[in-house]
Structure 1
């Protein structure tokens, strides 16, 4: 019988690459002799296969790194194992440190930052390793997992995802206005609210681009002479990633694109609008852009974003216009003209299969008999930030009785409008109710006071009163925490 040393390195690699052979088995085999150690140490394909076998969800992350000349997958495996061990050490300590608390403040998880923050020396892939491990824990059946660990893993996952999204948001608001595109703003809301779900912005973009391609195919059948078919590819790429300040076509060709888009979106793809606003039977899924693109069912805001994003990819500018209980898309053939009011204005109603309203139509909003638009051709388009706040308001309505979700939404609202006193008050009320840290809110209130030019204005006085209230609470916080801890000890 031939000894294993007589086998070629290719055959040994195939054997070790089998799914039944674990990473630990490979390491043990490599330690048997120097020859095997050198052979396995240099087999980058083997280590890549073992990484993907053990953590299959990481494959999509590494596929995005194809631009790199070389990835040492053995080092990636070692870093992944090390990171996950450190994560579990942290999770196992959390119960002893925080078991008596109703909810965890972000400050309670600051020690966790060193595990994934590059600024604190973390390995550049640690964020993805931690996300993968936390997701895999939550994917297990609750009956098969430690419920205490599961509870803290949910807290850590929410914190980790929101730390990343705070950075993404800061980048977004620093973009020039033409690069603040609506689908990215909508994706940030979906990612923030759904920390346990992989909501991919690249997948959202791909879905919208796919619909735009369907529109082009349909348009070619009906209007093959349209100017869009002589448009350079680079221009389509620009429209995909930038807001456009004017329509690229004359009124005839613009209407042809819009009519084809309506047909494809509502007849062929099957999108439809959700009219009900009763929180007892409505659902968040009608707001999240990933869910709307998947289920083809959305409320006025989400459908308007989809319509707008596809239209922009086809060189059509249509602005979102907000009404108290509805959203419309406005469209003119030209915006950059000497007398903008001379251009006829149309309104697209996405809740009614994209029907187009003209000056002679009256939008049926809250039973009004007259068109609520004072001047039909004059309006203020809704910015991405305003759209996000509208989505948050809707989600707050349908999440009224869900404590964790309400906190998450208030924190997102505070991120978007950091100087909004009402949001700070609501968030502070939640933190006080659950004996949480108020230091970040207090810093913001001091900042509002210092930045105000008029020390007597109502907002500054409100900030001062709220700051005094928070300071008074903070003085008594240690006593409240001790009482809370004692009560939980008694219940145990």
Structure 2
């Protein structure tokens, strides 16, 4: 087994530039929260094996889209990675060790595996934080090839992209400029935060407040000024009976966002737990 590089330290992530954040490594760090005995080396070895298998074929291909076609064929057809359509909100679909073992995932976790294999083969694949399902993009001449990792890496044309974006834009069909903004490459920090928000939403639905607090805390490790994570951690603390932590987080949230839609509700919660009116000052 190849010796795996050490995982990053959560407390160091806020100071690291987006482009320097190791996407796959921090994805494993997220998984280790849930699986303390996670075998990082085994996960690294599996991705390395995928890349080694593909390398001779990829190096013999010059055109980027054909390289990507070979990567997708191996991952989705030969190895059987696929989107979990039956249990989409199963938290295992967000943990990379489970995705690698079960070969089931959600759009963003499958994209991270796809991007990591491509990266090791020198293929410049980026994520797209598309509304709804996460997508990936490959530069092609003056344009890009957009693919859906949840559906076997299927390419998407402009018409389908506009149709997919429409429900998330108030029913409006995006014009060229709007669609171009949506299709910009997502930074590593954006990808990781979306992974954590997916998990946080799953755990909120299950009323698993300890894991809600953990996910919100990890979001704040990546981006300390994230207001929704501060609010969600505070509400999680409140549900767990950690009043001091709840008071501190909700107060900080309201100081930064005094006119938020949920400000009135949070002020009432603070009054109830003894926070008074200090939250607005």
TM-score by length of 1: 0.46
- Tell me by how many angstroms 1:425 deviates: 3.0
Counterpart for residue 77 of structure 2: 267
Equivalents in 2 of 1:440, 1:433: separation in Å? Answer: 9
Equivalents in 2 of 1:354, 1:443: separation in Å? Answer: 40
Mark the CA change 1:360 to 1:283 in structure 2 (over 3 Å): closer, same or farther.
Answer: closer
Q: Please give the per-residue CA displacement for 1:83-132, whole angstroms capped at 9, x wherever unaligned.
A: xxxxxxxxxxxxxxxxxxxxxxxxxxxxxxxxxxxxxxxxxxxxxxxxxx
Equivalents in 2 of 1:352, 1:443: separation in Å? Answer: 39
Aligned pairs (5 A) from 1:204-223: 204-219=43-58, 223=60
Equivalents in 1 of 2:70, 2:52: separation in Å? Answer: 12
* 1:344 partnered with 2:143: yes
- 1:393 counterpart SS class: helix
Counterpart for residue 434 of structure 1: 240
TM-score by length of 2: 0.75
Structure 1 residue runs of 5 or longer lacking an equivalent are 1-59, 65-164, 227-251, 335-342, 476-492
Counterpart for residue 153 of structure 2: 354
Equivalents in 2 of 1:373, 1:274: separation in Å? Answer: 31
The answer to whether the 8 Å contact 2:237/2:246 transfers is no
Aligned pairs (5 A) from 1:187-206: 187-192=28-33, 194-195=34-35, 197-206=36-45
Aligned pairs (5 A) from 1:316-327: 316-327=123-134
Mark the CA change 1:210 to 1:363 in structure 2 (over 3 Å): closer, same or farther.
Answer: farther
- Tell me by how many angstroms 1:415 deviates: 3.1
User: Who wins on radius of gyration, i.e. which is larger?
Assistant: 1
Number of aligned residue pairs: give it.
Answer: 263
Equivalents in 2 of 1:215, 1:173: separation in Å? Answer: 35
Mark the CA change 1:439 to 1:367 in structure 2 (over 3 Å): closer, same or farther.
Answer: closer
Aligned pairs (5 A) from 1:70-469: 168-192=9-33, 194-195=34-35, 197-219=36-58, 223=60, 226=61, 252-276=62-86, 282-333=89-140, 343-359=142-158, 362=161, 365=164, 372=174, 374-375=176-177, 379-399=183-203, 400-401=205-206, 402-436=208-242, 438=244, 442=248, 458=259, 469=270
- 2:224 counterpart SS class: coil
- Tell me by how many angstroms 1:188 deviates: 2.1
Equivalents in 2 of 1:283, 1:392: separation in Å? Answer: 14
Equivalents in 1 of 2:100, 2:158: separation in Å? Answer: 31
Mark the CA change 1:307 to 1:254 in structure 2 (over 3 Å): closer, same or farther.
Answer: same
The answer to whether the 8 Å contact 1:346/1:359 transfers is no
Counterpart for residue 30 of structure 1: none
Mark the CA change 1:261 to 1:446 in structure 2 (over 3 Å): closer, same or farther.
Answer: closer
Q: Which has the higher contact order (CA 8 A, sep 6+)?
A: 2
Alpha-carbon RMSD: 3.9
- Tell me by how many angstroms 1:423 deviates: 3.0
Mark the CA change 1:289 to 1:446 in structure 2 (over 3 Å): closer, same or farther.
Answer: closer
- Tell me by how many angstroms 1:308 deviates: 0.9
